Amino acid sequence: MCGQHNLAVGDEIFAPDMIDHNPTPEQFAGVEGQKQVLQELWVAFPDFHTEIDGLIAEGDQVVLHWTGRDTHTGDFYGTPAIGRKIVYTGIDILHTEQGKIIELWWGGG
């Protein structure tokens, strides 16, 4: 994902009633919740950019290892902006059905 800020992509990749097993505080359910999280990320990190470092797929399961490199210029869930570039990594596990994500487990730090 890189700088497109296109929420319509959410409708293409997430099932409407998808389940996020690690929701953020006050996150909406389903695809609307994923769009909400993206909006919040784009406010706090306007240059939000994630690179996929590794991908394993088997059947309807996908595991992504990724690295984010963003500039923290806005508040993010109570953490004030620091105005500096940050680098962090994470792993997501996706359960897919008919080409859409129906479950998501994510984590990074």
- Tell me the residue range of the domain where 59 lies: 8-108
- The backbone region for 53, taken as left when phi is positive above 0, alpha when psi lies in -120 to 50, beta otherwise, is alpha
Q: Has residue 70 been placed in a domain?
A: yes
CATH number of the domain that residue 20 is part of: 3.10.450.50
Strand ranges, E, within the chain: 14-20, 50-58, 61-71, 85-97, 100-108
Per the structure, the count of domains in the chain is 1
* Domain-located, residue 2: no
Report yes or no on 72 lying in a domain. Answer: yes
Question: What is the identity of the amino acid at 58?
Answer: E
Asked whether residue 3 is domain-assigned, the answer is no
Give the model confidence (pLDDT) of 44-67 as tens digits: 999 988 999 999 999 999 999 999
Q: Which has the closest alpha carbon to 40: 91, 92, 79? A: 79
pLDDT in tens, the chain (109 residues): 444 688 888 899 999 999 999 888 888 899 999 999 889 999 999 998 899 999 999 999 999 999 999 999 999 888 999 999 999 999 999 999 999 999 999 986 6
Domain assignment of residue 1, yes or no: no
pTM of the model: 0.82
